[in-house]
Structure 1
Amino acid sequence: MSTKEQLLEKFQNRTAKVAVLGLGYVGLPLATVFAEAGFQVIGVDLVPEKVEKIRRGESYVLDVPSETVAALVKAGKLDATTDFSVCREADAVSICVPTPLRKTGDPDLSYIISATDGLAPYVHPGMVVVLESSTYPGTTREMVLPRLTGASNLKAGEDIFIAFSPERVDPGRKDWTTKNTPKVVGGITENCSDVAAAWYAQALDTVVRVSSTEVAELAKLLENTFRMINIGLVNELAIMCDRLGVDVWEVIDAAATKPFGFMKFTPGPGLGGHCIPIDPLYLSWKMKALNYNARFIELASEINTNMPRFAVGKVQDALNDRGKPVKGSKILVLGVAYKPDIDDMRESPALDVIHLLQQKGAEVRYHDPYIPHFQHDGWEMRSEPDLMSAVRWADAVVIVTNHKVYDYPAILDAAQLIVDTRNALGAAGKNHPRVVRL
């Protein structure tokens, strides 16, 4: 029986041991899904606090209930460690580590390098390794493959099977989860694709095979580039409507009545999250190395990056119309998560909005029911303990994240001035004397 056939049999019988490298918002949900499917799963993370919480049966990821983690740990299906050597016994490894951008705008692949270098001493014949971290086309073949096969002399597609499968996690969603979101898989070779697809198919509802790792890598970048560019388009529309004196929200709602050829996107104070503001820039960076300028990406990024400043300009104008300068004004920011109803602040535009207002001399406080405190670039803030007291305190309330739990009618009734960057107030905010909309 070939190495490939042995692995496929292990997957079919659920006897394969699974290791997940990186237990963040991608890795922990994936680890629990494989464990629920009957595999014995060990998570590897360099943050001891995460490992200790999992071992206690506690979850720190919004989409994974602590009850699920506790039950899997108790059943012996899920464990965690900081020690890479557990990969020695693993048959299947998924790499789910962050891929941020450096301040210079080029990809920071140090987490992928660290994970693959940590794994490399323990690779062995009969192992499948799948990279899930978003990255530029060619990363799996050019960086992961040589690191895992160079010293070991293992041959991809015969001894070891290497593939790329982009994560498609949308934090906070209940309809589309790790289990039921279609999973794109592309291998270094056809055999690599066979093995990786067979593994994922044991735990996930739908697996979509593509011809190569590069196709799988680029598919993820296309998904998020599509969103980034369309959000950039409506953000620019918001700026144009502001100049024209036209209600951008009414324009978008009117356009959205068309039953074909239009997809509704809405403007806001900027882009947040790990994927949409960052992933397209991986592609732009890669294309520069090939002497090609990804103009749509660069333009959309420029527009989206400037939206916090545009939002702050609306606050400044609104206060000015009421005879108040920003300097010395008391401003309450509602919501600092990057999107509604989650506790994730990665790349949140609220950080830029707060910082810009502080630079202009405002006294800024915030409230977010999901984020009681945060630290960012050397400064720390805590959420106001009493929402309505903070609303009444403020000269201006700026709605940055439209959490559903907020009682917007009560906020509207108590606030002196509201700058609504998300149309959270809906019809109640239109033409209201104390409301300024984006």
Structure 2
Amino acid sequence: MIAEMKNNHPHPLSWRLWGLLLLVAMVWLIEAYDIGLTGTVLPSLKAQWHLSAWQSSAVVSAPTLGVALGVFPAGVLADKLGRKTILQVALLYYTTLTVLTGLSDNWTMFVILRFLAGLGLGATFPIPYTLFAELAPSHARGRSAGILDAFLSIGYFTSPFLASWIIPYGGPGGWRQMFYLGAFGYLVLIAIMRFVPESPIWLSQTRSAVNPSSKKLWSPTFRRQTAMLWIAFPAVLLLFYVIMNFMPSLLIKEGFSAHQALLFASLIMAASIPGKLIESWLVERIGRKPLLISFTLFAGLFALLFSHLHQYSEIIMAGMALSFFGIAVDPAMKIFTAEQYPTAIRAKGVGAAEAVARLLGGALAPFILEQALSSSGIQGTLIFTAVVTWLGTLALSLWAKETRFVALG
């Protein structure tokens, strides 16, 4: 089994590795569904609890702040205790907190539970692509990440799609049912415990001595890539949060009904699924750096275009293009991040980059975006999004080094 998973394996993925890939992908599908709940239930919470702009921002930012605080410690622990161990504990924890969120009877309780669930979501996020970067052969790492990430988009699509039917017809408590469906995570946990192995590269690393100086993310060896990732990753994740958490509100502001906004938001999110599948093919052919630069460049352009359109059909098409490039770039960013560091600090480096990205792009930015939406409308919101995205493009252009086919050590 371990020999089959070594990174220099020259053959295509075996059926067993494909099965493991799909099983690990289910973790991200459940997690994406969970994260997508925030944006999909926000209009219902605004109406039921009469939330102010600040309270709405807190609803959006609470789980993301939890993710930002949970992701780095999880990376450190995953380097010490193993990838599978942290994945199992985190999945059990956030599934339980998600189900409990459905019992919230006020804004305060909701925000607290979403923050606590976010800690577990953060602990989960870096593990699947760190684990599979160490399971897959080097020539298939990018493709594996693209397929894994496509399941994130399926989860993000599932959340608003189900909400478009459950919430309008489920009465005042329709939004609660969305959280109860998160209990499916328990079934995924059982399958992970039974079938997913620990990373053989990590197991091998724990048996050998590691130079302590090589464990510092800001050492001369790693500070260039760390700085680049801490700029580019937040820019990429900002695109995701704009589409996931603000798209229903943006569409409602454009005149769509609540049902239409949720339905079309799910359609816009679905456009990222073929985007990620195409990305998974391109990233192994043109490389990580060219793909990251081109996709972020186009995403910024379509964000600007979206802000200047008024016809419903044009808005939907621009939103789908924004999703195609802006969310489909995620798997390349993630596998590129995992390839920047050696095994001894890979999960730590990935966790740190994710933490910074989610703190800046997911927790801080929503407050700015909510205020921009209230004061400057859609144009101000999406101009800000485009500018931040292109800052990430600039960082990648100046400092990124290609890692395609590089063996992990």
TM-score range, shorter chain: under 0.3
Query: If the length of structure 1 is used for normalisation, what is the TM-score?
Result: 0.24
Which structure shows the higher helix fraction?
A: 2
Using CA pairs under 8 Å that are at least 6 residues apart, name the structure with larger relative contact order, 1 or 2.
2
Which structure shows the higher strand fraction?
A: 1
Query: If the length of structure 2 is used for normalisation, what is the TM-score?
Result: 0.25
